[in-house]
């Protein structure tokens, strides 16, 4: 039996920061996936999870500084997959790494990653994922223990493993992301990556050489102390999911816990930063 989703088409003006706030709020009320476009946002929720008045209490919808309107329609699971096939295009990062869906033809690159995106984040198309992939390509992962926190599709953990990482874990609070990560781990012959569903509370007593966390500003600020506690001496923390104007706040919090800012990448005002201890 096919799952039936509701597709909400949000028109947003101005786009930022309203789009990011809306995604965060929609995620809290049950929406599972989001596709940004030039007018705003497509958001998807299982019809069985929808209830009357679901959007009434959203802060961003009531904010007079933004104009947000929407329409909705039913979309069957098989139609969702067709939409991905029409709209999901392969990407190549610094001519070394290709991220593609199973229906895309492979090309000659050093790292070929096949991701079945389904309804998870992390296809590489968003600026933050793209930059985190670039960080992985630019740094030494050989034999290092790695954590991919907020793993989405698991693409960062998969590239880290292909770059020679040792013990690697991938964690996401969302069940769909957790299951999708497990599938993509198998699809890319990285079965020794351990995937878990949960939040930073799972990190107690764990230690890693490298932590990758592509989440959002507020969660990063809250969890930086946990990441630092899990980082081995001489370790590296890569953070993304926030804007350039948030970099000072992120760096200040990292600095307060003994981490030193080393560098950052920037793409369309999004940032992916590197910190070391």
Three-state secondary structure of the chain: CCCEEEEEEEEEECCCCHHHHHHHHHHHCCCCEEEECCCEEEEEEEHHHCCCCCCCCCHHHHCCCCEEEEEEEEEEHHHHHHHHHHHCCCEEECCCEEEECCCCCCCCCCEEEECCCCCCCCCCCCHHHHHHHHHHHHCCCCCCCEEEECCCCCHHHHHHHHCCCCCEEEEECCHHHHHHHHHHHHHCCCCCCEEEECCHHHHCCCCEEEEEEECCHHHHHHHHHHHHHHEEEEEEEEEEEEEHHHHHHHHHHHHHCCCEEEEEEEECCEEEEEEEC
Per-residue pLDDT averaged across 80-94, rounded? 71
The residue ranking higher by pLDDT, 238 or 87, is 238
What fold does the segment set 122-276 form as a domain? Rossmann fold (3.40.50)
Q: Give the CATH number of domain 4-78.
A: 3.30.70
Residue 91 — pLDDT band, cuts 50, 70, 90?
Answer: confident
Residue 1 clears pLDDT 80, i.e. is over it: no
Residue 131 clears pLDDT 70, i.e. is over it: yes
Cα–Cα distances in Å, from 210 out to 127, 176, 202, 216?
A: 21, 25, 16, 19
Residue 81: predicted pLDDT: 57
Residue 60 — pLDDT band, cuts 50, 70, 90?
Answer: very high
Per-residue pLDDT averaged across 20-40, rounded? 87
Residue 120 clears pLDDT 50, i.e. is over it: no
Domain ranges of the chain: 4-78, 122-276
Residue 61 clears pLDDT 80, i.e. is over it: yes
- 60 contacts 68 by C-beta, under 8 angstroms: yes
Least confident stretch, 84-93, 152-161, 236-245: 84-93
Of 32-36, 142-146, 172-176, where does the model show the most confidence? 142-146
Residue 230: predicted pLDDT: 97
Instruction: Please give the share of the chain, as a percent, with pLDDT higher than 90.
Output: 65
> Considering the chain, what is the average pLDDT of its residues?
90
pTM here is 0.74
Residue set of the binding site for S-adenosyl-L-methionine: 129, 150, 172, 214
Residue 162 clears pLDDT 70, i.e. is over it: yes
Per-residue pLDDT averaged across 124-137, rounded? 88
Residue set of the binding site: 129, 150, 172, 214
Residue 121 clears pLDDT 60, i.e. is over it: no
Residue 126: predicted pLDDT: 77
The residue ranking higher by pLDDT, 15 or 162, is 162
Per-residue pLDDT averaged across 251-271, rounded? 96
Residue 127: predicted pLDDT: 85
Cα–Cα distances in Å, from 231 out to 37, 168, 227, 257, 261?
A: 37, 14, 6, 11, 15
- 219 contacts 244 by C-beta, under 8 angstroms: no
């Amino acid at each position: 039996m096919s799952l039936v989703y509701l597709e909400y088409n949000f028109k947003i003006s101005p786009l930022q920061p309203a789009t990011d706030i809306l995604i965060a709020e929609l995620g809290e009320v049950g929406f599972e996936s989001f596709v940004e476009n030039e007018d705003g946002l497509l958001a998807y929720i299982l019809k069985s999870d929808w209830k009357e008045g679901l959007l009434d209490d959203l802060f961003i919808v009531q904010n007079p500084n933004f104009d947000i309107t929407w329409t909705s329609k039913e979309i069957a699971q098989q139609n969702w997959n067709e939409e991905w096939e029409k709209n999901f295009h392969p990407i190549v990062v610094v001519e070394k790494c290709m991220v593609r869906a199973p229906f895309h033809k492979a090309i000659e690159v050093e790292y070929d990653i096949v991701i079945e995106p389904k309804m998870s984040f992390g296809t590489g198309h968003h600026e933050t994922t793209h930059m985190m992939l670039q960080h992985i390509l630019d740094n030494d992962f050989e034999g290092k223990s790695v954590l991919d926190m907020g793993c989405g599709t698991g693409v960062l953990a998969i590239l880290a493993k292909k770059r020679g990482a040792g013990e690697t874990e991938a964690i996401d609070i969302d069940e769909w992301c957790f299951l999708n990560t497990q599938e993509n781990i198998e699809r890319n012959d990285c079965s020794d990556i351990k995937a878990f569903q949960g939040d930073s509370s799972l990190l107690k007593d764990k230690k890693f050489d490298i932590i990758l966390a592509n989440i959002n500003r507020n969660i990063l600020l809250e969890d930086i102390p946990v990441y630092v506690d899990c980082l081995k001496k001489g370790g590296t923390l890569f953070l993304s999911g926030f804007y350039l104007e948030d970099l000072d706040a992120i760096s200040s919090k990292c600095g307060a816990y003994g981490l030193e800012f080393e560098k950052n990448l920037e793409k369309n005002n999004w940032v992916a930063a590197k910190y070391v201890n």
